[in-house]
Amino acid sequence: MIVLKEQDIYRGYKNKRYADKAIEFLTKRHLLPLTGFSSLSNLVGHLMGDGTLSKDKFVGDFRFYGSKEKLEYIKNIVFNIFEIYPKSFIKRKGGFVLRYNNCIVSRFLNLIGVPRGNKVTTSFGVPLWIKEGNRNIKKAFLVAISDDELSSPRIDKRGNLEPLRLKFNKTENLLLIGIQFLEDIRRLFITLGINCSSVKLNNDKYLNLNNQINRSIYFNISAKRENILKFKEKVGFGAERDKMDKLYFVLNDH
């Protein structure tokens, strides 16, 4: 599947000179014409998870948040695809921040499906090239989403495996779009043979900073041992060492 062509780049720029510069940059890195591949799918997954792309298309800022190990992994992916270095890689309370500033890459990421700005208040879905991609493309996306957003493996007070939960927040006016987004992710898991519950809406409501009502949408990956084993074998966690260790622990304990 052709994801992006030169004419798509031209449509994104008013000034042809800047479009030519972007095309030269992307062509040099074998990204035009673009066909989907797994490391790019993984990067998109991280930006739809804990990452963020600036809401302003004239600003090249995009960032990733999380553990140092995960961000080192993402930094290598970004360099292997785009041959660019981060603007900063700093520690902050609760983790680390990996920040880039490149307008060409930022626009490119937006064109292939990465949403801009606050994902809670933005309409977006799983890009078609990932949904219809090969098994490796689907897996790479799910690994990133699992690293960023899937709950850590746990054993409950009764000694049973807890379901793995994938949860996202959306404003009330975007609930249907949010439900479809999670349904798309759920279907990707099912395609790989992993059983999941239906997508559900949490009854709790809370106000965000803009006085909009937010709701949580989620689904669970079945806690049956054979299903968690399938998750480990077919998807698993990629760069979140803590989650990987917990996954091995709960499976070895059962």
Query: How confident is the model over 221-250, as pLDDT tens digits?
Result: 999 999 999 999 999 999 999 999 999 999
Q: What is the mean pLDDT of residues 6-34?
A: 96
15 pLDDT above the threshold of 80 = yes
Of the pLDDT bands very low, low, confident and very high (cuts 50, 70, 90), residue 254 is low
Which domains does the chain show, CATH number per domain? 2-125 (3.10.28.10), 150-252 (3.10.28)
Of the pLDDT bands very low, low, confident and very high (cuts 50, 70, 90), residue 23 is very high
DSSP-derived 3-state class of residue 201: strand
pLDDT tens digits, one per residue of 204-223: 888 887 888 999 999 999 99
Alpha carbon distance 107, 90 (integer Å) = 24
**Across the chain, what does the average pLDDT equal?**
95
Residue type, 111: L
Helix and strand tally (H, E) in the chain? 10, 9
Q: What is the mean pLDDT of residues 135-161?
A: 95
Identify the CA nearest to 182 among candidates 1, 49, 44, 70: 49
What predicted TM-score, i.e. pTM, was given to this entire model? 0.96
Alpha carbon distance 236, 139 (integer Å) = 9
